[in-house]
Amino acid sequence: MENTAEVKLINKTTLPSGLRILTEHVPGVKSVSVGIWVKTGSRNETEEEAGITHFLEHMLFKGTEKRSSYDIALSMEAVGGYLNAFTSSEYTCYYSRCLDSELETALDVLSDMVLHPTFPENEIEKEKNVVIEEMKMYRDNPEEYAFESFSGQIFKNHPLGRPVIGYEETVNNFSRDDLYHYMSEHYQPWNLVISVAGNTDHQKVVDLVTEYFENVEYGKKKEYDVPLSEYQVDQQRLTKDIEQTHLILGKRGLKANHDDRYLLLLANTILGGGMSSRLHQNVREQYGYCYSIQTFNQVYRDSGIYGVYVGTDQDYVDHVKELIFKEFDKIRDKRIPEKELSEAKSQLKGKLLLSQENMSSRMNRLAKSELYFKRFITLDELVENIDQVGANEIRDFAEEFYDEPDFSETLLVPQD
């Protein structure tokens, strides 16, 4: 049964240009979260462009035709709000959180950044150094380094396997013309979603967005997308000057709209969803083999990446692997007790409901529903799909998904 009250508070308008505007009115709050989402990420880059989406995200904060970089930074902070952005494999988001009275300011600044960047040459050269330092920071972090290597292993010879941040050699080669060219191909209205959640009025947002975007010249639609290569099980052993050993066991996961996504969601919660999960209780609490063990489940529009990460002592690695695969076998062979399944469902539903108290989470959910499903997924629909999952279904799903020979391994060990 659909929550009609929630649906009534959600509105969508598609402008003639193809730009989509989504709003959620949340009564009783005094803030809004505003995001301009661009449906382009590192997977849409050529080899020579590796990292340009992320670099472009940085450069949009460096000034427009009417605002300096300082003006952009001050614009929201001076009214008690903030601006930020992030880049992923499949989308880029520029967002602001502010008082509802500053909605127009937020939309004005964000649209100005996206539509009128100037890319000063001196700022481009400075930002190259900044991004390269960011790369070094990630490489110095063994967990980040292991995950980056693991992604490259799972999506070998595909843009999804490249680091979102790119490489030093590609970033150093970016020019002002490259940035404008990439924007002309990807920052187009059919690739844009504007999402607003909080104490807002849909028509007001539509009027403002229409005003800001009405005189923009757009190019022809063009998308660069590389078909997925076939997944091959692989093992890699890396060394680094560190104290702890880092182990990742994983495989290709499920795409965002896969029919079995709720089965994996619950199986993943039972295995690694917090301190009460089977892996945490077994590997850490019972044996003391690690401080941190967790599962991860990243979805893309046509695939996913799934696995288990653990930081442990090199002497414990074989024991830890054995325990992990024993838990995989257990969830494949034995029906999950109803009490444990019910608790996992409550955990998932609780997280969903708690996220509703955060306007940024609501804004994110609005946009991602549109990007991945082209419609709004209500909380009632999510809860209903979670509640419908049975123990026998999870066992049938797990029997194939958690098959040990399908899992690749990345092992990062101390150098000596």
For 398, the token pair is: 């797990």
Q: What is the per-residue pLDDT across 188-218, written as a single tens digit (0 to 9) for each? A: 999 999 999 999 999 999 999 999 998 777 7
Active-site annotation holds for 57: yes
Q: What is the per-residue pLDDT across 330-364, written as a single tens digit (0 to 9) for each? A: 999 999 999 999 999 999 999 999 998 999 999 99
User: What's the topology of domain 235-414?
Assistant: Cytochrome Bc1 Complex; Chain A, domain 1 (3.30.830)
Q: Is pLDDT at 407 greater than 90 in this prediction?
A: yes
Catalytic-labelled residue, pool 57, 123, 127, 148: 57
Q: Where are the domains of the chain?
A: 4-213, 235-414
How many CA atoms within 13 Å lie on the side-chain side of 114?
28
Average pLDDT over residues 279-303: 96
Q: Is pLDDT at 1 greater than 50 in this prediction?
A: no
Matching CATH topology for 4-213 and 235-414? yes
pLDDT at residue 183 in the model: 94
CA atoms of 322 and 328, how far apart (whole Å) = 10
CA atoms of 143 and 140, how far apart (whole Å) = 9
How many CA atoms within 13 Å lie on the side-chain side of 170?
21
Confidence of residue 2 (pLDDT cuts 50, 70, 90): very low
Q: Is pLDDT at 412 greater than 90 in this prediction?
A: yes
Q: What is the per-residue pLDDT across 222-233, written as a single tens digit (0 to 9) for each? A: 667 788 989 999
How many CA atoms within 13 Å lie on the side-chain side of 406?
15
Confidence of residue 96 (pLDDT cuts 50, 70, 90): very high
Torsion angle of the four alpha carbons 236, 299, 174, 93, in this order, in degrees rounded to the nearest 10: -150
Q: Is pLDDT at 8 greater than 90 in this prediction?
A: no
Interior CA angle at 271 toward 266 and 276, to 5°?
100
Interior CA angle at 194 toward 190 and 195, to 5°?
140
Average pLDDT over residues 75-89: 96
Q: In 133-143, which positions are buried (b, 16+ CB within 10 angstroms) versus exposed (e)?
A: eebeeeeeebe
CA atoms of 281 and 302, how far apart (whole Å) = 33
pLDDT at residue 416 in the model: 74
Average pLDDT over residues 278-285: 97
Q: If you average pLDDT over every residue of the chain, what do you get?
A: 94
In the chain, the amino acid numbered 336 is I
pLDDT at residue 6 in the model: 61
Query: Do the beta carbons of residue 98 and residue 76 sit within 8 Å?
Result: yes
CATH architecture designation of domain 4-213: 2-Layer Sandwich (3.30)
Average pLDDT over residues 276-294: 96
pLDDT at residue 162 in the model: 96
Return the number of other C-beta atoms located less than 10 Å from residue 177's C-beta.
9
Query: Do the beta carbons of residue 321 and residue 249 sit within 8 Å?
Result: yes
